[in-house]
Amino acid sequence: MAPDAVPACGGIRTRLQEEGLAPSTVNSTLFALRGVARAAFNLELITADELVRIRDVQPIRHERLPAGRAVTAGELGAMMDACAADEPAAGVRDAAIIALLYAAGLRRAELVALDVESYDPETGEAAISGKGSRQRKGFIDNGAADALADWLLVLGESTGPLFRPITKGGHLIRERRLSSQAVYDALKRRAREAGVRDVRCHDLRRSFVSDLLDAGVDISVTAKLAGHGIEVCSRYDRRGDEAKRKAVALLHVPYRRRAALPPD
């Protein structure tokens, strides 16, 4: 490595910021550079002192407004109505998809990976395969369980992929698993039919977290249901200032207003 290469590493962060990159992108680049430096050290291309100097380049401390948005109960209901207005197979399937994205807080990949045998209608338990091959237990209840029960009646099978493609003619393709892109397309279609703007699959997952927290569910329980750590789960909270206002209202200061104050 050139003699001036390591001192220049400290300026990489500044250069990336000057190019207008987001803090998260800058930090990801710095993380990658540290990985390259470790590999270079293992190959004896740089010294231990150079490795330490590269690793000492600090990431950007930042806090940005959370991405995405919450989906309201009215919007969720409007999308369900749009599904109900469609022909049986596709309408029932899409209602079950939207129900699970919200009521189980599923990622698209988790949804399409579900098999019929992953779900126990008697207990409402669902075996969910999350990121990094980690599994967790989810629970399907209330309207989501009803939507899924209707889809299982349409599906009429006890094994295999839970969600499958449906042709434009309304025919179920039994030998194929639904793709993540098809889930995205289904939500967009139902949102468009319902007049709901700017909604993404992950917004339903964010709403799952926010609504559980708003209902008073402990954040550790919510995090386990979402398959997240508590810190990451808190980033999904979309309750906004109203939740903060309600929280502060729970505190009591034992102060009594005076009947009258003397004039200045």
Q: Does 42 share its domain with 92? A: no
Number of domains into which the chain is organized: 2
Same domain, 40 and 126: no
Is residue 60, in this structure, part of any structural domain at all? no
Check if the beta carbon of residue 104 is closer than 8 Å to that of residue 140: yes
| Residue 180, domain member (yes or no) | yes
| Chain-centre distance for alpha carbon 73 | 18
Look at residues 29, 34, 26 and name the one whose alpha carbon lies nearest to residue 55: 34
Q: What is the pLDDT of residue 6?
A: 46
- Which residue range is the domain that position 26 belongs to? 7-55
Q: Do 37 and 99 reside in the same domain of the chain?
A: no
Distance of CA 6 to the CA centre of its chain: 38
pTM of the model: 0.69
In a domain, 11, yes or no: yes
Question: How remote is the C-alpha of 229 from its chain's centroid?
Answer: 12
Distance CA 208, CA 101 (A): 8
Within this chain, do residues 146 and 100 fall inside the same structural domain, yes or no? Answer: yes
Comparing C-alpha atoms, which of 25, 31, 33 is closest to residue 9? 33
Task: Please indicate, yes or no, whether residues 28 and 149 belong to a single structural domain of this protein.
Answer: no
Cβ-contact 140, 119 below 8 angstroms: yes
pLDDT tens-place values along the chain, 264 residues long: 444 444 455 577 777 777 777 777 878 888 888 888 889 889 988 888 888 888 887 777 765 545 678 899 999 999 999 999 987 899 999 999 999 999 999 999 999 999 999 999 999 999 999 877 788 999 999 999 999 999 999 999 878 999 999 998 888 998 899 999 999 999 999 999 999 998 999 999 989 988 888 888 888 888 888 887 777 677 666 666 666 677 677 777 766 767 766 665
In degrees rounded to 5, what are phi and psi of residue 45? -90, -20
The count of C-alpha atoms lying within 13 angstroms of the C-alpha of 146, restricted to the half-sphere facing its C-beta, is 3
Residues 24 and 97 in one domain: no
Q: How far apart are CA 151 and CA 111, in angstroms?
A: 14
Q: Is 191 exposed, middle or buried (0-12, 13-18, 19+ CB in 10 A)?
A: buried
